[in-house]
Structure 1
Amino acid sequence: MKPLSSTARTRVRRLPERSSADRAVLYDILDAGMICHLGVVMDGAPRVIPTGYGRLEDTLYLHGSTGASSLMAGPSQDVCVTVTHVDGIVLARSVFHHSINYRSAVIYGTPQPVTDPDAKRTGLRAITEQLAPGQWDATREPSRKELAATAVLALPLSEASVKVRQGPPSDDEPDHALDVWAGVLPVQQTFGTPSPDPLLRPGIPIPGHIAHRVTS
């Protein structure tokens, strides 16, 4: 697997020991997320939009409406896409050394609109499976009209950076003698009991690919 290449935009200058050139780490961070943040410049001002996405090999697919100005602006310029996971709040003995355990990815590039119907279905499948693995095969596929109303952008994962922080606080040694609790408060994402649509016909059970994600 080709490692991530360092560019002027992706080089981690502060705490570079937290960066990784392992492309597999990038894939893991992207595959574990559900929403990315798409940064574009519109009318001379930056705009950051929460956006659905999905990954297929070395391509990130972004989803939205054809009426979304942010997505329509994307193909004409370089964009920045970020995905971040908060794994824990790092509580130190000093305020200065408080931190967060996290995994983050930043991708740069110029996205291309996906217009071919089959390629668009491929992108939409990746986006759907990102949120609910197994859902694409369990539901009706989009019609021609629905495809026309949906925008899909393809962004190559050729310029990206990864940064990860894990572990306990990094207090200064003299502060170890303070009577202050220090440690990590873990942060976890869980799924609750699925709530059926009020219009759902009786007798339709919760699909296995959804039920198995419920946190007991």
Structure 2
Amino acid sequence: MYRILQLLTDTEIAECKRIAATAPFVDGRITNPHNTAKVNEQLHEPQAFQKSSQLLLQAFTRSEEFRDFAFPVFIAPPFLTRYRPGMKYGFHTDAAFLRSPQGELRSDLSCTVFLNDPESYEGGSLHVRYGDANLHFKLRAGEAIIYPSDTMHEVEPVTKGERLVAITFIQSRIQDPFRRNLLYDLNEVAALEGLNMSAENYTRMQFIQAQLLRYWGEKP
């Protein structure tokens, strides 16, 4: 249901931190004034937002692991959010549709990119509830977690230090999570075992991969 991947280089992490340190943040509810669960801050200055967003989009674009897992059609411009002591984001699911420069985007997958190492702040774990399971994530700087947007999740209160992350939302070419995960697993098997197959069977597997993507996939 989720995937953790190394997304940013040390240079990119440092640049995101530099932008965050020199640009103004505003109340995170500026994008949703009625959301009482949201107690954080987000980058709002247009030039700083544009610069950090482009940096992060380039990182997503070059990540083969991200493309293989998410089958992305559209990626919302990522934005930096900040949590200081006392800040949190209560349990919620992400909006089904979001406005973006490409038009309306359906949020199939949500993504959090961590920019501060976990030792630099206390609290602030991403808590995802999946059935009876409670999953907690507090990753290293530069690591990202991708998970379904319709899962209940929260950011636990920060009690010390600062939690700096980037957030984005992805519309997948494969909307159905069962089909998306199945096709991802099939592609992984083909990549790992393809060279051990006969040429005929490998060609047949490639045919199956292409046919499933053709019938399940959506055009941009």
TM-score normalised by length of structure 1: 0.26
Q: Which has the larger radius of gyration?
A: 1
- Please identify which structure carries the higher helix content: 2
TM-score normalised by length of structure 2: 0.26
